[in-house]
Amino acid sequence: MKQKILVADDQLYIHRLIQHRLEQEGYQLVAVRDGCEVLEVAVREAPNLVVMDVSMPRMDGLTALRQLKRNQATRSIPVIVLTSSPYELVHEEAELSGADLVLTKPFSPIGLLEAIRRLVLARSPREKTLTTT
């Protein structure tokens, strides 16, 4: 079964960039454009990981992140936050809100893919079983 990654960004080129890399690696991509859709889709699709921009319409990524982490059904989903802000305060707020990783745009698609692999593998029940025996 393919690992499912939920990508939330209002910029189409970011979706295409991430989609290209993820599909090459065998991941299934679910794409949304704002924080409200993140909350709906995360509950419905139960993704293995969320990649989410901070600046989006209707609901920003940090607000969506906090709500994901408060919801029992979605709190354990790892989240990578993307931001174009160079300010450390945004990075700190994302980490305090529950982000597993914060990347500044422009980001390395290879670095993002490595982070996704690492976080998905860390949450994989099969991997946890293998390492505990």
Contact between residue 112 and residue 52 where contact means Cβ atoms under 8 Å apart: no
Dihedral of the CA atoms 46, 68, 59, 2 (nearest 10)? -20
**What are the extents of the domains in the chain?**
4-132
Strand partners, 29: 5
Answer yes or no: is pLDDT of 132 > 70.
Answer: no
> Please, what sign has the CA dihedral across residues 51, 78, 22, 93?
positive
Q: What is the DSSP string of 103-130?
A: EESS--HHHHHHHHHHHHHHH-HHHHHH
Q: pLDDT at position 124, please? A: 65
State the CATH class of domain 4-132: alpha beta
pLDDT tens per residue, range 108-130:
999 999 999 999 988 765 433 33
Answer yes or no: is pLDDT of 57 > 90.
Answer: yes
- Kindly report the pTM of this predicted structure: 0.89
